[in-house]
Amino acid sequence: MPRTVRDVVFVDGVRTPFGKAGPKGIYHETRADDLVVKAIRELLRRNPGLDPKKIDEVAIAATTQIGDQGLTIGRTAGILAGLPQSVPGYSIDRMCAGALTAVTAVAGSVAFGAYDVAIAGGVEHMGRHPMGEGVDPNPRFVSEKLVDESALFMGMTAENLHDRYPQITKQRADEYAVRSQEKAAKAYANGKIQADLVPISVRRTSPEAGETGWGLVTADEPMRPGTTLENLSGLKTPFRVHGRVTAGNAAGLNDGATASLIASEDFARENDLPVKMRLVSYSFVGVEPEVMGYGPIPATEKALAQAGLSISDIGLFEVNEAFAVQVLAFLDHYGIADDDARVNQYGGAIAFGHPLASSGVRLMTQLARQFEEQPHVRYGLTTMCVGFGMGATVIWENPHFEGDK
């Protein structure tokens, strides 16, 4: 019996505030799976019309699937969050694009008719589990020159991308980073971010005082409001002598979790759930691992072709800022100005942080807010580069679009 492909929508998305990885970070004493649980519970609280028994899947991504990020975290986090035991779950690893892949994976199942509604998200506790913990790369990668050795180090791939685009200078990257911090600070001041944050209770230990106490996290920790070009110009270039990539023009090492509800449009409307974005197309593409940051360009080309759209049809861009050079390469390719108002209106990962597998849904929640505020925009996209040479792009339609009204 032939099946009809169903329209898929982004119902809602939330995230924890993002923290700095390490002993001084806000989540040092907090488990990764508990961060996911908080996000799932908040989704259910915000959408009381959704009967938890109707959830068909929980897909949660983590790059380092070990310890409190292991044990098939989609399943275990669902149980910990109080979902019925009849709700299944699984885990995903596509490095930085983990949560984005969780969304597209369940979206495909919704479109096919296997699911009506699913939870998709991601988590990364880089303080507990640094990227690459426990991995054992096959020596053939280097011995047989399957990839350049720099492909194993994300910062080096960013320096390689600078080489490929010599017009993207360190100053341009620093100027972009300053704008990201400014836009994030403005978004916070205008209340654009807080609505989708889940407050998290955390235990904090003071080694100096020998005390343990509790606090409530309500904002992203990595942000550096007031950052200036002068502040950034003197930072070290750890990946190359006289390089261009610094801690100031790249995302840091971070902890955090995200979760979203993905459903068929019919199911959403029948169950009185919001429809914040409508899925148009998505694409994943591989590139040379040593220039990982180039990935969003061919992924976007492919997603646009699938949708029958051109880059001029896209009215809003949410581009993950793993490194400033990666965003600037994308903009240069399409002839878009560094400070184009359509790009990362609320700021990006350079300010908020980039807890690897969780970041894709952060892009989506920010785009969904912008769609709601800007009904004159019909299409937007979320895109990111992915470790070991990949790119990922999802194109969305604004359900609030008013056209020429």
Q: Is 28 a catalytic residue?
A: no
Neighbour count for residue 214 (Cβ, 10 Å) = 9
Neighbour count for residue 6 (Cβ, 10 Å) = 17
Q: What is the C-alpha end-to-end distance of the chain, expressed in Å?
A: 41
Q: Which of 129, 162, 354, 400 does the annotation list as catalytic?
A: 354
Q: Is 96 a catalytic residue?
A: yes
The CA-based dihedral angle spanning residues 111, 115, 119, 120, taken in that order and rounded to the nearest 10 degrees: -40
The CA-based dihedral angle spanning residues 393, 330, 60, 191, taken in that order and rounded to the nearest 10 degrees: -110
- Mark out the alpha helices in 48-114 (DSSP H runs): 73-80, 98-112
Q: Which of 125, 129, 162, 385 does the annotation list as catalytic?
A: 385
Neighbour count for residue 9 (Cβ, 10 Å) = 27
Collapsing DSSP to helix, strand or coil, 85 comes out as coil
Q: Are 264 and 7 spatial neighbours (Cβ–Cβ below 8 Å)? A: yes
Distances (CA, A) of 288 to 106, 147, 243, 319: 28, 8, 21, 20
Q: Which of 96, 125, 129, 162 does the annotation list as catalytic?
A: 96
Which 8-state DSSP code applies to residue 7? P
Category of 286 on φ-ψ map: left (φ > 0), alpha (ψ -120 to 50) or beta? beta
> What is d(CA 371, CA 191) in angstroms, rounded to the nearest whole number?
16
Collapsing DSSP to helix, strand or coil, 176 comes out as helix
Strand partners, 90: 59
Single out the residue of 300, 249, 290 nearest to residue 147, CA to CA: 290
> What is d(CA 236, CA 391) in angstroms, rounded to the nearest whole number?
28
Q: Is 333 a catalytic residue?
A: no
Q: Are 324 and 350 spatial neighbours (Cβ–Cβ below 8 Å)? A: yes
Active-site amino acid positions: 96, 354, 385
